[in-house]
C-alpha cells in the first residue's frame, strides 16, 4: 500500500502526518501503520502517526497514534503542526480556527509572516485535576497533588494533571540527572494509572522558567511534549512555584515553549512547528493488514 505523508516536527517531537484528502485509511490500519512508520530502521522514523481529516464540529480533525500504536486523546506539539499544515495547505483560510481532537475541540491561532506560519498558539482548554479524570485507579473528585507512588522500592511524589491525556509531574532538583529512562517506563505502566501515564520530570528554575524532560506513554523518551509542558506549568502553579496568569517558559530538550495558565483556567501554549519532508511510504504489510 502506498501512503502519501508529510513528516513534521515541533521541538524535535516528530510525527508522520497523513492527510485524509489524499488517502482514506481503514480504521484497522491506523495502529499497525503508526508502529510501522515510527520505526527508525524499517519505517520513516518518528514518535508516532497523526491523521488529519475533515470534521463535522470543527474546521479540521486530528487523531494521534503513539509509536507503539496506542491512540491518545491529545498532543500539543501535534496540534501546532496540524495548525501550520491546515493553514499553509489551504484546509483553512482564517488565522484563527478550531481543531477537533478525541479530547475535545481546541482553538488555534497561527502567527503568519510572508505567508508562512512562524509560531502557533493553542488554547488547550481547562486542565482536569480530579483523580477520576486523570485517571487514577484511586479515582475520586479530589486532586492528586504530591501524591505518593512506590516504584522500584522508592517512594516518589507526583502531581496528576489531565490535558485530555494523563500526566504525572515529578519535581526534581536537576532534570539532567532525573531517572527518565529507568523509572519513566515503570511509572508509565504503574497500576495506579489504568490508562498509563506520561511522566514529566521538572525543575522550577525561577517563577518564569521550568526545566523539563519527559517519558511519553507509548513513545518513550521524546525531545518535547506540548501537553506535558502545559501539565508542568499547571502543577507548578498548584504548588505556588509559578503564578497563574503569567507566562512561563518551559525549557524542553528540543527547545522552548511559552505556556500561560490564565485566570479563567485556560492553558495557552505558544511555540514553533516545522516541516521535515514529504513523500510516499511503501507499506509492505499494508495488503496483509487490509485482508486481516
Ligand X SMILES: N[C@@H](CCC[C@H](N)C(=O)O)C(=O)O
Q: Mind telling me the catalytic residues?
A: 75, 225
Binding residues for ligand X, how many (CB under 6 A)?
19
226 contributes a contact to ligand X by CB under 6 A: yes
Residue in 75, 86, 124, 235 binding ligand X, rule: CB under 6 A = 75
Give Rg (Cα) of the chain. 18
252 contributes a contact to ligand X by CB under 6 A: no
Residue in 66, 121, 131, 253 binding ligand X, rule: CB under 6 A = 66
| Beta partners for residue 170, in sequence order | 201
Site string for ligand X, 137-176 (x = CB under 6 A): ----------------------------x-----------
Beta carbons within 10 angstroms of residue 206's beta carbon: 10
13 contributes a contact to ligand X by CB under 6 A: yes
225 contributes a contact to ligand X by CB under 6 A: yes
101 contributes a contact to ligand X by CB under 6 A: no
The contact set with ligand X (CB under 6 A) reads 13, 64, 66, 72, 75-78, 165, 198, 216-219, 222, 225-228
Q: Which residues are annotated as a binding site for substrate?
A: 13, 66, 76-77, 165, 198, 216-217, 226-227
Amino acid at each position: 500500500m502506498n501512503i502519501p505523508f508529510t513528516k513534521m516536527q515541533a521541538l524535535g517531537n516528530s510525527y508522520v502526518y497523513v492527510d485524509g484528502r489524499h488517502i482514506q485509511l481503514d480504521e484497522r490500519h491506523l495502529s499497525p501503520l503508526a508502529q510501522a512508520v515510527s520505526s527508525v530502521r524499517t519505517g520513516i522514523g518518528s514518535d508516532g502517526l497523526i491523521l488529519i481529516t475533515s470534521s463535522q464540529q470543527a474546521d479540521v480533525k486530528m487523531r494521534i497514534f503513539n509509536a507503539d500504536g496506542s491512540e491518545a486523546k491529545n498532543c500539543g506539539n501535534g496540534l501546532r503542526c496540524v495548525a501550520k499544515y491546515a493553514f499553509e495547505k489551504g484546509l483553512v483560510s482564517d488565522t484563527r480556527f478550531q481543531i477537533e481532537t478525541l479530547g475535545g475541540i481546541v482553538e488555534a491561532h497561527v502567527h503568519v509572516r510572508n505567508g508562512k506560519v512562524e509560531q502557533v498558539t493553542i488554547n488547550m482548554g481547562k486542565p482536569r485535576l480530579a483523580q477520576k479524570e486523570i485517571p487514577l485507579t484511586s479515582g475520586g473528585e479530589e486532586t492528586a497533588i504530591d501524591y505518593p507512588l512506590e516504584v522500584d522500592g522508592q517512594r516518589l511524589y507526583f502531581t496528576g494533571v489531565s490535558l485530555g491525556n494523563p500526566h504525572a509531574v515529578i519535581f526534581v532538583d536537576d532534570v539532567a540527572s532525573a531517572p527518565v529512562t529507568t523509572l519513566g517506563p515503570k511509572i508509565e505502566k504503574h497500576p495506579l494509572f489504568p490508562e498509563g501515564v506520561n511522566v514529566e520530570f521538572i525543575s522550577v528554575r525561577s517563577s518564569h522558567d521550568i526545566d523539563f524532560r519527559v517519558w511519553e506513554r507509548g513513545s518513550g523518551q521524546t525531545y518535547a511534549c506540548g501537553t506535558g509542558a502545559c501539565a508542568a506549568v499547571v502543577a507548578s502553579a498548584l504548588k505556588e512555584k509559578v503564578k497563574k496568569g503569567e507566562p512561563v517558559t518551559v525549557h524542553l530538550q528540543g527547545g522552548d515553549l511559552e505556556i500561560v495558565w490564565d485566570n479563567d483556567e485556560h492553558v495557552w501554549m505558544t511555540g514553533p512547528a516545522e516541516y521535515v519532508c514529504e513523500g510516499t511510504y511503501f507499506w509492505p504489510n499494508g495488503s496483509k493488514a487490509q485482508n486481516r
